[in-house]
Amino acid sequence: MTRRALIVAGGSIQEAFCLHYMQSYKFDHKTAVDFGLQFFYKSGQKPNQIVGDFDSADQKVIRFFEKQEGIEWLRLIPEKDDTDMEAALRRMIADGYEEIHILGGTGSRVDHMLGNVGLLGLGLETDTRILLVDSHNRIRMIQKNIKIKKTEQFGRYVSLLPVTPRVTGITLTGMKYPLKDYTMECFRTIGISNEIAEDEAEICLKEGILLVMETKD
């Protein structure tokens, strides 16, 4: 059985969506990252782990959870090379979780958002499925073939962007705009706004890394 973990960060959080998402999956472990602790406090949830340098978290909220038993704390210093999110992800991977969902990893800080998108690559290095999710998007990074059932897709559109300069042998089946043995290169937008046209779509590639984004309007 897949061991599944949730990370809630301090980016864009829509409480109703996040609560529904948490109820839709069986998470074996929940981690709050810095300001993401606010979501757990407001919604009456208790994380298993709290990670951060706490430069943005509310001190009242921190004190509240410090009184709770059974919470593991990973306290970081602000003067560090990686982000709180990277530290939390690496800890979850080291702890053997095979699937990690990130909420609150997108938002107005484009630098943090792009950094979090880049961290999806940690999953490729460790064979861990990592999903970056908000109320409009589900984002993952792939280097091998995947299938998406129409009944299970997240939103209407499926968009592809190359992470490596070139991604070769892209073949798309079951989609409105199919491709066959296509080479996708950076600085092109041919992969944007495709749609699943059949019961199941398949994204195949030979070499390279793709960003797969399932999106809603």
- Domains of the chain (ranges; CATH) run 4-135 (3.40.50.10240), 146-215 (2.60.120.320)
Q: What is the pTM of this model?
A: 0.95
- Segment 145-177, tens digit of pLDDT: 999 999 999 999 999 999 999 999 999 999 999
Instruction: Name residue 131's beta-bridge partners.
Output: 101
Which of 211, 216, 27 has its CA nearest to residue 103? 27
Distance CA 134, CA 74 (A): 25
- Segment 64-100, tens digit of pLDDT: 999 999 999 999 988 777 899 999 999 999 999 999 9
Query: Which residue pairs, CB below 8 angstroms and at least 24 apart, start in 189-195?
Result: 191/159, 191/160, 191/161, 191/162, 192/159, 192/160, 192/161, 193/157, 193/159, 194/157, 194/158, 194/159, 194/160, 195/156, 195/157, 195/158
Distance CA 48, CA 100 (A): 14
